[in-house]
Amino acid sequence: MKRDHTRLMEMLAEAYARHSPRSAAFQERAQRVMVDGGSHNVRLIWPFPPRIVRARGAWLQDEDGHNILDLWQGHFANVLGHNPEVVTTALAEALRSGWGLLSGMADVLQVEVAEILARQTGSERVRFTTSGSLATMYAILLARAFTGRNLVLKVGGGWHGAQPWGLKGVEFRQGYEQPDSEGLSPDTLGDILVTRFNDTEALREVFRLHGERIACFIVEPFIGAGGFIPARREYLQEARRLTERYGAVLIFDEIISGFRFRAGDAGALYGIRPDLATFGKVMGGGMPVAAVAGRADILELAGRGS
């Protein structure tokens, strides 16, 4: 049976290569200089990804002339579809004005976006960065600095980016206590606690055992990598109660959920305000922008006076 399955997969790969010869040739070229021919494992579709040459709205076109309906939309970031005119026009104008290239200084557009983000999420302060991974790492570091504690609590199946405290407890097949990447120190892995998503009793138990040492609990209101499962209201309510009781920071990772279900944070739909929240994807519409937002007394630790 295994031999038959292997042969079937080989036949499918051969048929796909005949169907998309230019994409196949491009993959061979890419593999000569890039690891597996790409820069992100999720995008390395077996046996090779299509070589995209055009994108508009919901559609992609590859180099072989095939039109592809794109339901993924750039890691769920392109809420307006590919290359919406309202975005491309604004970007072109920014580049013509000289704003588009990095100056390192805050710009009026940056302040306006911060004002909108703060208003729509009830946040007191905002700090921008360039990716969701950096935003969640930033939030965790702030929580550890604010509390003086080391332990980071997350849920099994929760993905918080390619940063040290996000690389444990994602892949169920190898066990939630195992690292999801090599190169992590034992100390870092020991600082990560993993609990079950939507299991209120398990959450109470982990706080009972470790609450005085937990710096933060980071959780998605709508878990992405773990199966696109919404959090139960009572689960997030208990998370808020426990973090307040034990003096831990509650972080909502809203990289996926933020500005997707409403013009703001998904936490508001539950009537719960975290101490910190991270945003990205939809808020950038495909551009490399993310943010940490929340309480001023925590975020001010990122300032020059700290």
What's the pLDDT tens digit per position in 282-298?
A: 998 888 999 999 999 99
The average confidence (pLDDT) of the chain is 91
Phi, psi of 71 (to 5 degrees): -95, -5
pLDDT at 181 over 80: no
Structure tokens at 28: 């061979």
> What's the rounded Cα separation, in Å, for the pair 151 and 212?
9
Q: Percentage of residues in the chain with pLDDT exceeding 90?
A: 70
Please say whether the dihedral angle defined by the alpha carbons of residues 151, 153, 157 and 158, taken in this order, is positive or negative. Answer: negative
> What's the rounded Cα separation, in Å, for the pair 149 and 161?
21
Q: Which of 306, 305, 304, 290 is nearest to 126 (CA)?
A: 290
Say if strands 192-195 and 222-223 run parallel, antiparallel, or are unpaired. unpaired
What's the pLDDT tens digit per position in 159-172?
A: 898 888 887 766 66
What pLDDT score was predicted for residue 287? 87
Cβ–Cβ contacts within 10 Å for residue 117, how many? Answer: 21
Q: What is the pTM of this model?
A: 0.91
- Segments of 150-226 assigned E as strands: 151-155, 192-195, 214-219, 222-223
Contact 62, 270 (CB under 8 A): no
Q: In a 10 Å sphere around its CB, with 0-12 CB exposed, 13-18 middle and 19+ buried, how is residue 291 labelled? A: buried
Phi, psi of 170 (to 5 degrees): -100, -50
- Domain residue spans of the chain: 2-54, 101-302
What pLDDT score was predicted for residue 137? 97
Q: 217 has which bridge partners?
A: 153, 250
Q: Is 45 helix (H, G, I), strand (E, B) or coil?
A: coil
More confident residue, 11 or 105: 11
pLDDT classification of 189: cutoffs 50, 70, 90 = confident
Q: Which of 261, 222, 258, 38 is nearest to 135 (CA)?
A: 258
What pLDDT score was predicted for residue 206? 98
pLDDT classification of 117: cutoffs 50, 70, 90 = very high
CATH for the stretch 101-302: 3.40.640.10
What pLDDT score was predicted for residue 251? 99
Q: 125 has which bridge partners?
A: 294
